[in-house]
Amino acid sequence: MRGQEQGRGQGSSGARPCCDRDRGSATVWSLGAIALLCAVFGAVLALGHAVVVRHRAAGGADLAALAAADHWAEGAAAACARAERVAAAQDVRLVRCALVGEISDVTAASGRGPFAARVRARAGPAGPLPDPPSPRTRAAPAAPLAAAP
């Protein structure tokens, strides 16, 4: 009986010859899956970094525009210098600063290379408040609905 068991398609090593070509394929598939997961993880990290850079630029631009609008009475040069200081404190670069009356228009940039972001912000006094609605005459209340039978 023992001799018959060895003759059932098993080689001298005891492994089945039909499956010898699959040996080690799990290692290759595992390495492929790990490489794919690393690539996806890298893409997610890059996207997160791009979002952080854009938010940093937006925050710096908003604060620089508010600083310039707050100091408009000192002149455009002084207001833009104040905006430059605020932008530098926020770790962004002031790209453009313009004042038209009391309204400041500022562009700030953050990041380098493919992760650079430029954001424009405007600030100034609030516009005039709309006139309150005029008192209207109240319409007569509607007749109550009839109850269903």
Tell me if 61 is assigned to some domain: yes
- Better-scored residue on pLDDT, 12 or 41: 41
Tell me if 86 is assigned to some domain: yes
Give the residue numbers spanning the domain of 110.
25-123
**How far is the C-alpha of 119 from the C-alpha of 45, rounded, in Å?**
22
Q: How many domains does the chain have?
A: 1
Q: State residue 23's pLDDT score.
A: 75
Tell me if 147 is assigned to some domain: no
Question: For the chain, what is the radius of gyration of the CA atoms?
Answer: 36
Q: State residue 126's pLDDT score.
A: 79
Would you mind telling me the total number of residues written for the chain in this entry? 149
Tell me if 116 is assigned to some domain: yes
Sign of torsion, CA 107 112 113 116?
A: negative
Q: Tens of pLDDT along 1-29?
A: 554 555 455 555 555 556 566 677 888 89
**How far is the C-alpha of 54 from the C-alpha of 106, rounded, in Å?**
15
- Better-scored residue on pLDDT, 139 or 103: 103
pTM of the model: 0.64
Q: Which pLDDT band, with edges at 50, 70 and 90, does 132 fall under?
A: low
Average pLDDT, the chain: 82
